[in-house]
Amino acid sequence: MTDPSHDSAVLTAFEDDLPLGGTKRTRRRQLIGRYLPAAIAFVSVLVVWELFVELANVKSFILPAPSEITAAFFEEFSTIWSAGWTTLREAVGGLFIGLFLAIFVSFSIVRWTWLEEGVMPVAIAIGTIPIVAMAPIMNAWFSITSLLSKMAVVALVIFFPVMINTVRGLNEVSAEEVELMRSFAAPGRDLLLRVRVPNALPYFFSALKVASALSMIAAVVAEYFGGRQDALGPYILQKAGLLRFAEAWAGIGVASILGIAVYSAVVLLERAVMPWHVSLRVAAGE
């Protein structure tokens, strides 16, 4: 899968140099000013696309117009949403599994530091291999038609970046913070809970945001290797094979929308868990 560094770059491209601050009104205006160009770009692309198809009389099987895609979407509504629901469950399920494992392993590595030397290089090496190639094996292990087989792929894909970044965050305590806690004669557990974990949260959420963006794509791609037909992956492949690109794109659109939904849920969660951090960024204009 695209490594999170790739996708996190998308996020930073939006969040970099965010000179927010001041009253709510100015902040809202600045937010709008920030996202408006992108929104305009998006809409204008759609418009140009539509016009081009109309004027150049491009056939649907070469390049479908946005209007056709929308029409196809409504025609196939129940099929697409039913397929989408399957894929969504795979994505979210995989997220949970992968997260759980990543957190468990991260804490173990920090607790037993000797593990780090061995596990981290391996984890980084595994991050370089096309994890998605494991999909057929997961199909064999967990029954090709089960949701679990796809969840396993999603979990594998997100496990490594989340774990690597959580470990990094947990380890990023400064020498002064360690000295501070030592000067309080704080037991090790205190250092972990009071300093390491809050420190790690921003890193964890960064990785989680990227993972959530990846989860739907990972699920769809895993489905390309076979499985139940009532899912977005097979749907898209089937429609594309029949050269019915309008419907195929409609399927992709649904996958994107669901992916954005999962991502937004994570952003909301982040706001809830780390109120200090978000406002920190907003006010300090970092």
Partner 1 sequence: MSSGAPAVAAAGVGKVFVGDSSVEALQGIDLTIQQNDFIALIGPSGCGKSTLLRLVGDLLAPTSGSLAVNGKTPNEARLAREYGMVFQKATLLEWRTVLKNIELPLEVMDFDKEEREPRAREMLDLVQLSDFGDSYPWQLSGGMQQRVAIARALAFKPSILLMDEPFGALDEMTRERMQLELLEIWDRTDTTVIFVTHSIPEAVFLATHVVVMSPRPGRITDVIDVDLPRPRGFETRESPRFYEKLTEVREALRRAEPEPDRQ
Partner 2 sequence: MVEAIEETGGEPTRTLWSRIRTVVWFLAIVGLMAILYEAYKAMWEATDGTIPLLGIDWLVRGNDITMPHTWSIIDSLFEEVQRGRNEILLVDLLKASLFTLREALAGFVIGASFGFGLGVLFVRFPLAERSFMPYVVASQTVPILAIAPIVVIWGRRFGVSQWMAVAIIAAYLTFFPVVINTLRGLRSPQATATELMRSYGASHREVLVKLQIPAAVPYIFTALKVSATASVIGAIIGELPAGFPDGLGRKLLVFSQRFASGPEKLYGTVLVASAAGFLFVSLVGAVERRLIPGTRRVAS
Site for partner 1 in 121-180 (CB under 8 A): 174, 176-177, 179-180
* Interaction of residue 194 with partner 1, rule CB under 8 A: yes
Binding mask 201-240 for partner 1 (x = CB under 8 A): x---------------------------------------
Q: List the one residue from 23, 183, 241, 272 that touches partner 1 (CB under 8 A).
A: 183
Q: Which CB sits closer to partner 2, 38 or 56?
A: 38
Three-state SS for the chain is CCCHHHHHHHHHHHHCCCCCCCCHHHHHHHHHHHHHHHHHHHHHHHHHHHHHHHHCCCCCCCCCCHHHHHHHHHHCHHHHHHHHHHHHHHHHHHHHHHHHHHHHHHHHHHHCCHHHHHHHHHHHHHCCCCHHHHHHHHHHHCCCCCHHHHHHHHHHHHHHHHHHHHHHHHHCCCHHHHHHHHHCCCCHHHHHHHHHHHHHHHHHHHHHHHHHHHHHHHHHHHHCCCCCCCCHHHHHHHHHHCCCHHHHHHHHHHHHHHHHHHHHHHHHHHHHHCHHHHHHHHHHCC
Residue 130 phi, psi dihedral angles, 5° rounding: -75, 90
* Interaction of residue 268 with partner 2, rule CB under 8 A: no
Q: Which CB sits closer to partner 1, 103 or 186?
A: 186
Residue 188 contact, options partner 2, partner 1, none, Cβ 5-8 Å cut-off depending on partner type = none
* Interaction of residue 76 with partner 2, rule CB under 8 A: no
Closest CA to 106 of 1, 202, 3, 197: 197
Residue 263 contact, options partner 1, partner 2, none, Cβ 5-8 Å cut-off depending on partner type = none
Q: List the one residue from 86, 106, 206, 212 that touches partner 2 (CB under 8 A).
A: 206
* Interaction of residue 184 with partner 1, rule CB under 8 A: yes
- Stretch in the footprint of partner 2 (CB under 8 A) among 76-84, 88-96, 98-106, 164-172: 164-172
* Interaction of residue 284 with partner 2, rule CB under 8 A: no
Q: Which CB sits closer to partner 1, 186 or 267?
A: 186
Residue 185 contact, options partner 1, partner 2, none, Cβ 5-8 Å cut-off depending on partner type = partner 1
Ranges within 84-123 binding partner 2 (CB under 8 A): 117-119, 121-122
- Stretch in the footprint of partner 1 (CB under 8 A) among 44-52, 107-115, 230-238, 273-281: 273-281
* Interaction of residue 266 with partner 2, rule CB under 8 A: no
Q: How far is the CB of 184 from partner 1 (least distance, A)?
A: 5
Closest CA to 255 of 239, 275, 277, 267: 239
Closest CA to 212 of 110, 89, 95: 95
* Interaction of residue 198 with partner 2, rule CB under 8 A: no
Q: How far is the CB of 182 from partner 1 (least distance, A)?
A: 6
Q: How far is the CB of 40 from partner 2 (least distance, A)?
A: 8
Distance CA 92, CA 94 (A): 5
The first and second tokens of residue 154, run together, are 């999603």
* Interaction of residue 278 with partner 1, rule CB under 8 A: no
